[in-house]
Structure formats: C-alpha cells, structure tokens
Amino acid sequence: MQAWFAQSKAQQVNWFTPMAFGRIGQALSAREIRELVSSDLEKVEREIHLESIASVDAVTAISKYLHGNGGKRLRPTLLLLCNKLVGETDEGAIRLAAVVEMIHTATLVHDDVIDYAQTRRGKPSANVLWGNHTCVLAGDWLYMQAFQAALRQRNFAILDILISLTQMMVEGELLQLERIGKIDITEGDYMQLVDRKTASLFSACARLGSLVAGAGEETESRLSDFAWNLGMAFQLIDDVLDFTSRESVLGKPVGNDLREGKVTLPLIYALTDASDEERQQVETVLRDSNYGRVGLDRILAMMERHKGVERARERARAFTAKAREIIATFPESPYQRALHTLTDLITDREY
C-alpha cells in the first residue's frame, strides 16, 4: 500500500473518519478518495523506487530511507486528482507525480540539514544517520534525478514550471535563513515565505496535472490558484500543530519551530498584543534555542491569552474557503468532490 494510506490506526482516524468530512454535503468518503487514486499511487511508488537507484550506494540508501519513511503523498495525490478532473491519467502523469514527490523529498533533506533536525516522521533524520555533507549531496542528486525524469516528457512547459518552482523554493529557504532568530517578523514576511516554500509546490502540482492532461491555460490557472490556496492553508495548519499537537503524533518535538528560531503565524499574531515581558520571554527562547529558561508551557499560555492559534486557524480557513470557491466552478464529478474534500482534510488534520 502507498505510504499515504499505510499509517497507524491512530493516524488514519485523523485523516479518514467520516467526522473529518462531515461538514461538506457533497464530500466523498475517505474510502472513495482512496479508491480514486490508489492504483495510480502504487504506480507512482514504483516509479519513485526506480528513480531512486543511483550508482553510489549511499545515495540509493538515503533515497530509499526517505521515501520509505512514511509521508502522506499529498502532493502526488493532488497532481493525480487535478489530472483526472480534466483528462485521462497516462504514463506522463504518473511520472510527474513521482517527480513532485522527489522534489519534495529533496527539500526535506536540505531543510533537515539547515535546521540541524534530529528526527523526521518519528525516526532519525537522514542527516543524523549519514551526516550533513552526504545528505546535502543526496538532496542535490534527488533534485537532478527529478528533473531528468521530467525531461523525458520532452515538454518545455513542464520544465518551465519546475525550474520556476525550484527557484521559488530556494528563495524561500534563503529568506527563512535571513529571518532565523528574529522576533520582528510580520504577517507579510510570513506569507511571503509560505508562498515560496509550500504553496508554490502545491500550485505546481495542480498545474502539471492539468497540463499533461491537455487542459487549456484558463483551466490550468484556476487549478493552480485552487492548489496555491490549499498549500497556504496546509502550511498554516502545520505551524499551528507545531504548538498544539503531540510529539508522538507529529513525529518531531512540539514547539520545534521556535526552538529552531522560526517565528510562525500563531506566534506573530500573539506577539501583536504581547507585553514587553512576554516578548522578552520569546526572545529568550530564540536566543537560547531551547526552553531551558523559559518553558514551552509559558509560551503556550501567552499564545492562548492572545488567541494566536485561534487567529491562525481562522486565517487557514480563509484560504480553504477560497480554494472551495474555486473548485466549485468545475463541473461536479468524483474528482471535483475529492478535491473539495481535501480542503477540509487540510484544516482538520492533527498531524
């Protein structure tokens, strides 16, 4: 079974119970969504496996470790659903679904190196097992292998999308590095970062899926906008969960973003109304890179007082509302309803 569905029972409840989708009258059940893409995702998994074999053993080992280490396969699923919404799924769509997952994996490798991460999805991160130098090169290899696979489509439009995407994601990483440890991060700064690091990849998935299906520019653009809003909401909820979930569910320590020097939207909102003393507490954590002097419980209490998490969730819901508005303009079909359902799946998840 593909990794998105091969989760623990506890995790499956978060994603696939009727409660997660009950507020949308036309939403498909989780089982129906799974059936729409399961056979194609199995092909995607085989494609990823084949593309992850390198002439250097260490690269192959790291690639297989990362791709076998869980993950929801949300990006390939999004590409395939958009593809099926407007056309027929062929070998090209399968290949591009593998490409976007490989690019996503490459970004995770580099992120973990930059963040000195110790865990990824509840297991030791690749940089802990193989070292930073090897993992940086393995991430580079994954990027190049993804582009090599995409090149087989012999389509310049696909390469344009992927090159622009990669540039955006690298710019996002550089912007994040510039802002590490800084408390005076604005909502605009944050949204700019999320646009580049997360939403751009979601948008590219939808555009690639519709492009390879032969959809016109107007359809590509609408699906791209839908997925961009979905990606923005996804990252906002990720940043909320960093403060509100549990380590056993997240697969990494709670409050990790602040420990790594990242000021995300829930904290940005809370800091707008925080006292000088409360701001000093946040600055202490940023400076120390730990919760030794100022405990996470004090940061969480401050955020609760100023409704940082609540306001961030509301902002995420605004993005999903826009996504639903866009996808509602497409004719009703199982794939349209599945994409509609994804908007709730994004905002109601617990990991």
pLDDT in tens, the chain (351 residues): 333 333 433 333 333 333 333 333 345 666 677 789 999 999 999 999 999 888 888 888 888 888 777 667 899 999 999 999 999 999 999 999 999 999 999 998 888 888 787 877 778 889 888 999 999 999 999 999 999 999 999 999 999 999 999 999 999 999 999 999 999 999 999 999 999 999 999 999 999 999 999 999 999 999 999 999 999 999 999 999 999 988 767 667 789 999 999 999 999 999 999 999 999 999 999 999 999 999 999 999 999 999 999 999 999 999 999 999 999 999 999 999 999 998 988 888 877
pLDDT at 15: 37
Neighbours of 33 (CB within 10 A): 25
Type and span of the H or E element at 211 = helix 200-212
The encoded tokens of residue 308 equal 């940082």
* Domain annotation for the chain: domains and CATH numbers: 9-348 (1.10.600.10)
- Cα–Cα distance between 263 and 279 in angstroms, integer? 12
pLDDT at 244: 93
Q: Are 206 and 227 in contact, with CB atoms under 8 Å apart?
A: yes
146 closest CA partner among 131, 165, 132? 165
Residue 106 to residues 102, 119, 233: CA-CA distances in angstroms?
6, 16, 22
- Cα–Cα distance between 117 and 114 in angstroms, integer? 8
Neighbours of 165 (CB within 10 A): 20
- Cα–Cα distance between 317 and 56 in angstroms, integer? 45
- Cα–Cα distance between 319 and 339 in angstroms, integer? 14
Render 74-85 in DSSP notation, one character per residue: HHHHHHHHHHHH
Burial 214-242 (b: 16+ CB within 10 A, else e): ebeeebbebbbbbbbbbbbbbbbbbbbbb
Residue 148 to residues 117, 145, 268: CA-CA distances in angstroms?
29, 5, 40
